[in-house]
Amino acid sequence: MKVFNINKGVGRSVEFKGLKAQYLFIFAAGLLGVLILVMIMYMIGINPYVCLILGGSGSSVLIWQTFSLNGKYGEHGLMKIASKKRHPRFIVSQKRIYRLLKSRLNFKSKIS
């Protein structure tokens, strides 16, 4: 009879070499973008050494920034920052005071 290992990672986020969740996808998309940029520069006719230097430095900066964001904000940090930017600092009521009082008076008379 075969013995099967139980998957103990059910319900956990994806992790690869310390990168978690959305940082892994940012990392992969960024490296793909750098690769495509280097290929386009090479096809245009830019010196291959310049293409390699720009590709290597771009990917190094991408790797450094992705790991620093992962360490600074954690697994759900970018989503928290995005939601904080969308959340209003204060609520503005642009109704006139008379209309506010009128609606309250009408509400009280309906209850009685």
* Residue 102 pLDDT level (bands cut at 50, 70, 90): low
Q: How many CB atoms lie within 10 A of CB 23?
A: 24
Tell me which DSSP letter residue 34 carries.
H
**22-60 pLDDT tens trace:** 888 888 899 999 999 999 999 999 999 999 999 999 999
AA identity, residue 109:
S
Total-model pTM: 0.61
The backbone region for 41, taken as left when phi is positive above 0, alpha when psi lies in -120 to 50, beta otherwise, is alpha
The backbone region for 39, taken as left when phi is positive above 0, alpha when psi lies in -120 to 50, beta otherwise, is alpha
